[in-house]
Amino acid sequence: MAESISPAPAAFRAEVWKYFGFHKGASGDIDRNLVVCRLCMAKVKYSGNTTNLRAHLARHHTEIQLALPEQQAKRDPSQLTLAQVQTQKLPATSTRATKITQSVVYFICKDMRPYSVVENEGFRSMVQTLEPRYVIPSRQYITDIAVPNLYKEVKTNVLECLGLAEKVGLTCDAWTSRATESYVTITVHHITDEWKLESCVLQTRAMYDSHTGENIAALLKEAVAEWQLDTKDPVLVTDNAANMHVAAELAGMSHIRCFAHSLNLASQKALKVPAVDRLLGRIRRVTAFFRRSTIASHQLKQKQDLLKLPKHKLITDVVTRWNSSYDMVDRFLEQQPAICAALLSTEVRRSEKDIFTLTEADITCAEAVLKALKPMKDATLVMSEESMPTVSIIAPLYAKLVRGTEEHLDDTQTIKSIKAAIATDLGKRYAGDEQDTLRMASALDPRFKDLPFLSEAEASDIYFRMTDAAVDHLTKQQNQGEVDSPMEETDRSEEVDQPNYEDGPVSTQSPSKRPRRSCALEDLLGSTFAWLHAAIPTCRYLDIDGGPPFASTKSNTVPKSARYTATAEVKRFREEPPLPLPDNPLSWWKVHEHEYPVLSKVAKRFLCIPGTSVSSERVFSSAGDIVTAQRSVLKSEHVDQLVFLHKNLKIK
């Protein structure tokens, strides 16, 4: 009988006995002094303990890792091994699983992903690789529990922030999803205690009825009530559509027309000048040819290399965005040498013989058109700024653009037509209360407070309106018991150290931190405001005791101490040196808030109003992605929650 291995007795529980057995001779006798390794069949002497056995494994089978005898003796039979721990699923309520689920929900909301992403094979594989123990929640759990709970949490935070705001501005825009469903989104804008502009999406509602002023007004009233904005005196900023103007009136809100939209409408009128329209048609035909022809596109790249021109692609304009037409012409002129060379190449002429570049007269006309429209382009860029107030820029920009439409002797007929079209369209906008609000915002902006674009009488009128607003605020504070008396408030403000103006205007930002788009603002308004920075300005007119040369809009029943306090603050504010155009006015107010305890509150009430709804429209471009034709079954309440969280959720 051949030799074999006899298993160790059941009483031998050491882990090492998995790899050894006793030697069993040919006769069937078991040798208790000799064991055999099951891995290599080597014979090892056994003396009543496992020392030799462990030594053999450590020397010849290093891949085997054994627990020390004392560790094995202490192990709790109920204790899980590492392998067991790695394969056991996490309880849904565990800290680890809760954090992962939260991250999945954040991913869906911030990146505007569909709820069904948790069912996608690639997503599930990625999560299982990162944490094999995690059980991915179902789509229904994400839809019905996780996202609504997060929505309630963030909504509470937004309500708390809005409760601290002095005043708010609202933007209201209608948009259509890729599934051709209509929605209206309302966004709120306010200034925080730290003097930062902050915007929050409030609600997105499906519009199944026509977009009449009455229906939109109902949505506005609903939003004001739900978000407790009744006492915030919201100002509504929308496009120039008539239904939006009606909605503002029915909702009892002040209304400001989006300046970027107004610029777009005026510029569109300029682009419809016959000579300009023909020019755009010629350029559009050439750019479209290069975009659809691979041969022409390749030749253009080669000519760009030879002529050392930037390797920029040609631009085809979008009908609804006038600045895309400006960019198309600008890029065409930049690449004109390469375009001409490419069109004359044998390869291109062989495939297309009817495409020609512009004539010298066309190029001259295109350059003149760009020059005439550049102020409108720069103004559009300035109005796209999101971190600085834009409502205060409208009045000086409007005045500058209107003055820029004045004819010059060397203007061609085409340029005269462009200027006339812009002047006519802009002249129909911004009058009455809307104009007063814009001018007041400019006066409260330390960059524009001297109002050089207004006459002396107009500037004085605005500053007396500012004084009245300060008196209103001060009187309201007194009635609510927030201050002891207006005179004491004045005394405290006068104790604050005044900045030293001998070295020139005080800037609250270093040049390296100034916004990049400030150059456009300087290009537009530099000539108008440059003289203000040459010396410390003085008030053009303000009589504390006597009042303006025309009657104040308020009653004389206001206590003199309150009016004196308000007027004194306004006077000191007017005597401040102006802030350089690139600097942030909110940073200036943050530094000087305690010097102007009343006027700073008034500033917050006006500077929070957005001058444009363009920034809010960026939300809708991404919001439309979440309501695609493939997800048209998504309920409107889920669209509301996703858009809300996409904008307002802050990941720490």
* Distance separating alpha carbons of residues 433 and 449, to the nearest angstrom: 19
Cα dist. 150→158, 189, 223, 275 in Å?
12, 22, 20, 56
Helices (H), 384-485: 391-403, 413-426, 432-443, 456-480
DSSP string, 494-520: HHSPPPP-TTS---SS-GGGS-TTHHH
Question: If DSSP codes are grouped into helix, strand and coil, which group holds residue 380?
Answer: helix
Whole-number pLDDT of residue 519: 55
Whole-number pLDDT of residue 19: 87
- Point out which residues pair with 34 in neighbouring strands: 45
176-206 exposure pattern, b = at least 16 Cβ within 10 A, e = fewer:
ebeeebebbbbbbbbbeeebebbbbbbbbbb
- Point out which residues pair with 257 in neighbouring strands: 238
Cα dist. 13→10, 18, 41, 55 in Å?
7, 9, 21, 18
> Interior CA angle at 464 toward 458 and 466, to 5°?
105
Determine the residue type at 306.
L
- The DSSP secondary-structure symbol of 142 reads I
Contact 220, 213 (CB under 8 A): no
Contact 117, 103 (CB under 8 A): no
Cα dist. 491→275, 480, 481, 573, 603 in Å?
64, 20, 18, 16, 21
Whole-number pLDDT of residue 507: 42
Percent helix, strand, coil in the chain, to 5, is: 55, 10, 35
Give the list of residues 6+ apart from residue 70 with CB closer than 8 angstroms, or none: none
- The DSSP secondary-structure symbol of 92 reads T
* Distance separating alpha carbons of residues 332 and 283, to the nearest angstrom: 7
Whole-number pLDDT of residue 209: 87
Site of tokens 């996490």: 90
CA atoms within 13 A on the CB side of 368: 19
Q: Phi/psi zone of residue 112: left (φ > 0), alpha (ψ -120 to 50 degrees), beta?
A: left
Contact 225, 202 (CB under 8 A): no
Global pTM reads 0.76
Give the list of residues 6+ apart from residue 610 with CB closer than 8 angstroms, or none: 169, 171, 189, 199, 237, 390, 391, 616
- The DSSP secondary-structure symbol of 361 reads H
Determine the residue type at 341.
A
Consecutive 10-residue averages of pLDDT for the chain (652 residues): 73 85 81 86 87 88 68 53 62 91 95 90 94 92 95 96 94 81 92 94 91 94 95 93 94 93 94 96 94 93 95 91 94 95 88 78 95 93 75 94 92 95 93 93 95 93 94 84 46 38 39 46 67 46 44 48 90 93 93 95 95 63 50 74 93 78
Q: Which of 285, 271, 426 is nearest to 343 (CA)?
A: 285
Whole-number pLDDT of residue 319: 84
- Point out which residues pair with 385 in neighbouring strands: none
Structure tokens at 469: 């607003």
Site of tokens 């229904």: 140
Task: Indicate the burial class of 267 (C-beta count within 10 angstroms; 0-12, 13-18, 19 or more).
Answer: buried
* Distance separating alpha carbons of residues 265 and 322, to the nearest angstrom: 8
Q: Which of 540, 539, 604, 578 is nearest to 396 (CA)?
A: 578
Phi and psi at residue 201, to the nearest 5°? -75, 130
Contact 110, 646 (CB under 8 A): yes
